[in-house]
Amino acid sequence: MDIFTILISTMFVNNFVLARFLGICPFLGVSNKIETATGMSIAVTFVVTLSSVITYIIQVAILDTLGLEFLQTIVFILVIAALVQFVEMVMKKTSPTLYEALGVYLPLITTNCVVLGVAILNIQEGYNLIETIFNSVGASIGFGIALILISGLREQFEILDIPEALEGFPITLITAGLMSIAFLGFSGLV
């Protein structure tokens, strides 16, 4: 498969948030401000890409070689948890305000199904290391696009006159649904 096709496909056509509905918790929880959404996107990009590379190497070099494929999920979760702890420590030292803004959602990257989903799908799709990297980067960028788009819209909702029954979470869910439908328009692209 062409690398460009993988990248565009994971960013738009098979967007993990808007087409596969993975990673909804941080998508809805951290999308109040663009700054917070950008910070989360960067953290998720780092974790998804690095964890995908590490899990691919572990899968090929250890699990497949020793016939321990059944340990895939457990090993992948351990790798992801270690990387999230690393990101959390770095973010706490380098950007304490962003660390505080992300709050509980930063450690939740460990259980973010986008991170685990990308790592497992890389193996299931039979991608090589280069394709794994591009799929991971594309998935991360797609996650970031969705997160930043909805956070920009949610910031606008604060200044708009929205009916009281739709304020807050209801309008966010409606917007997420409409964004998902809009992203279906990319389905013929690849």
Please identify which residue in the block is written with the tokens 């799709």: 125
At 132, the pLDDT band (50, 70, 90 cuts) reads: very high
State mean pLDDT over 68-91.
89
Report the chain's terminal Cα–Cα distance, integer Å: 11
Amino acid symbol at 174: I
pLDDT at 85 over 70: yes
The per-residue pLDDT for range 90-118, each reduced to its tens digit, is 888 988 887 887 777 777 777 778 899 99
Q: What is the pTM of this model?
A: 0.85
Long-range contact pairs involving 169-177 (C-beta distance under 8 Å, separation at least 24): 169/28, 172/28, 172/31, 173/28, 175/150, 176/18, 176/27, 176/28, 176/150
Task: Determine phi and psi for 67, rounding to 5 degrees.
Answer: 70, 30
Please, are residues 124 and 52 in contact by the beta-carbon 8 Å criterion? no
